[in-house]
Chains A and B, each alone.
Chain A
Amino acid sequence: MNKQLSKNGQDSCIPLVREIAERHASRQGPLLPILHSVQDELGYIPNVAVPVIAEVLNLSRAEIHGVITFYHFFRDAPPGKQTLYLCRAEACQAMGARKLEEYAKEKLGVDFHETTSDGRFSLEPVYCLGNCACSPAVMIDDFVYGRVTPERFDSLIDED
């Protein structure tokens, strides 16, 4: 989740998307691995990727689009520099996740699925990170943090 593309730069990713799609095409059930790979490389799945993947897999654009929209994890717009996943599920609720959610939204000035105006963070809800004995839990990109109080939240986003 690193590189980002501006709108007019989107077309430039087509060769890469084609290369990724072709690399996985011979696997069984290649679509999810392709979408993950594209999102890993570009940070999101740009609209221009859809017809390319459709062509390589010999599927309709509507099918590809349907899959992308079905899964919460795939996004069709570029994220912020880092993605902050806030756990909203029960074990985290039991330790104050609702308050933390309010605090985080207020602090970052965004709602879920939005990116801060400085482009540093995208905020996403998540339903369990498997850290339920050390709740509330937050994941920043690939790293999970436990027992996140509002104070700890501040120190996490003020880091680096």
Chain B
Amino acid sequence: MSKGKVNVFVPSDTAARSLGSEDVALSIEKVALDLGKSVAIVRNGSRGLAWLEPLVEVEVDGKRHAYGPISKDDVEGLFAVGFLEGGKHPKGLGPTEQLSYLSNQSRLTFSRVGIIDPLSLNAYQKHGGYEGLRNALEMSCEEIVDVVTESGLRGRGGAAFPTGIKWHTVLRADGEQKYVTCNADEGDSGTFADRLIMESDPFVLIEGMTIAGLAVKATQGYIYLRTEYPLAIQVMNSAIQIAKSEGLLGDDVMGSGKTFNLEVREAAGAYICGEETSMLESLEGKRGIIRYRPPLPAIKGLFGSPTIVNNVITLATVPIILAKGAQHYKEYGSGRSRGTLTVQLAGNIKRGGLVEIGFGKTLRELLEDFGGGTATGRPIRAVQAGGPLGAYVHPSQFDAPLDYEAFAEFGAMIGHGGLVVFDDTVDMAEQARFAMEFCAVESCGKCTPCRIGAVRGVEVIDRILDGIDESGNLVLLSELCDTMIAGSLCALGGMAPFPVQSVIKHFPEDLRARK
């Protein structure tokens, strides 16, 4: 941010890039040069307003003004209307913070996302970064764990297990070496919150993991990061290097004499490795076959040692809890679902993106007020909530509040917070078939109901659609779902039938012979 230059922010996360933000940045640089305008281009992450990407912002008198979505062809026009002074333009959106999509959110975990240059440690600290760790260094292990427990934070990776209780188990477990592992396998379709935070605010994850390490006396951390996220891998690795060289990781964290080392480990494209025991096998260099439980990973985890396994968002939420206190975090939310949920609006949705809000808003508010309905303008027919193992939610259920317990009540789940929207042209039989197909492709093979059942599921649905003994095969499909749910070792085989059952229940008209 040099003097006399106007700061222009051009997002650099995967979504913005996928829509041309690299070209936009180059074009702004070139046109500015041609016109003799003095601009400093800052590559921020992304605000998560995917539908407005590339979302260019200009800082005028300390206030950021948004323009979007901007293509490289818009750039000359932007200069022509004087966007560097906040000039009016058809794609001008006004002050960024006043965009209702943003101002109606409660950004806690994502408070810096899209605002700062992801690899600027200086910007991170200016915006409250490392306050949490600084506080944690003044506390005992038990005190840190207590604050996390008191905050009500539950795992954001899917199972919603109370984080503080998990940490307490690891702290109490015997072991010379303990580990903190971050599950960054983000395999659920419709989810990108982990990617967004790793690409836009990587230090918050580093800080969260360091606090976790202090809390349970673990000196080594691993981030198991999906290979499908090359940019996130690159940004995380760079941030770790910076944190090391600045004494924020290593043998003397912030001059405290405490050790915490951190490494990214690249996954290799197996969905099942997002399940925590499979992830640990994979980190050990093995096939990602599910482990029997007990023992819990908290007691015998990585290389047989007590291990924290937490999702990216869970760990990235820890710094603000330690910085602002358990009470502050807990004030958000409803019922037993405390704090904020990062909803990801995806698929056929007009305004897709990341929405961080306190638990308790209804699905309808998310889909309509934030999402604006479908991208195609047609009615919404179904929403898959909670990833590929989650039920298809019917419009009659859209008044359900987003809260772990409320969702469980009608057989749905919030999971990692993904909402995948489909319009009325969707063929729900194809969706049911895909759920089984996906399970067959990704099964680790350890148990029969999942390995064989999923393949049979695809065949049975095909027979129904082909008109072969329709009613008999529908009964068979239901029984098969029951068998998989009852007899599978882990949630892949145990939950893949949920989307299928939801189709049987809410969209039976699609599960019929064709022609």
Contacts and interface: CB of A to CB of B under 8 A. Distances in A.
B270 interface: yes
A71 B269 contact: yes
Contact of B352 (A35, A71, A92, A134): A134
A90 B434 contact: yes
Interface residues of A, number: 42
A137 to B, nearest CB: 7
Given A70-B270, A73-B269, A143-B17, A130 B418 contact: no
Given A72-B268, A90-B388, A130 B422 contact: no
B187 A90 contact: no
A131 interface: yes
Interface string A133-153: 111010100111111000000
Interface in B90-108: none
A59 B48 CA distance: 45
Interface of A: 28-33, 35-36, 66-67, 70-74, 85, 89-95, 98, 126-135, 137, 139, 142-147
A133 B266 contact: no
Contacts of B267: 32, 73
B347 A95 contact: yes
B165 interface: no
B388 A133 contact: no
A83 to B, nearest CB: 12
Given A89-B189, A130-B186, A139-B228, 10 more contacts: A29-B283, A31-B285, A71-B268, A71-B288, A90-B431, A95-B347, A127-B438, A127-B441, A132-B190, A133-B50
Interface string B420-446: 111100100011001000100110000
Contacts of B426: 94
A33 B229 CA distance: 16
Contacts of B384: 90
7 A-B pairs with least C-beta separation: A133-B352, A31-B285, A94-B347, A73-B269, A89-B189, A146-B18, A133-B50
The majority secondary structure among interface residues of chain B is mixed
Interface residues of B, number: 63
Nearest to B283: A29
A91 B268 contact: no
Contact of B285 (A67, A92, A128, A145): A67
Given A134-B18, A137-B18, A144-B18, A67 B287 contact: yes
Given A89-B388, A90-B347, A94-B426, A33 B265 contact: yes
Contacts of A90: 189-190, 347, 384, 388, 420, 431, 434
Nearest to A72: B269
A33 to B, nearest CB: 7
Nearest to B288: A70
A133 B346 contact: yes
A91 B15 contact: no
Interface in B8-63: 14-15, 17-19, 50-51, 53
Nearest to B349: A133
A31 B388 CA distance: 29
Contacts of A31: 285-286
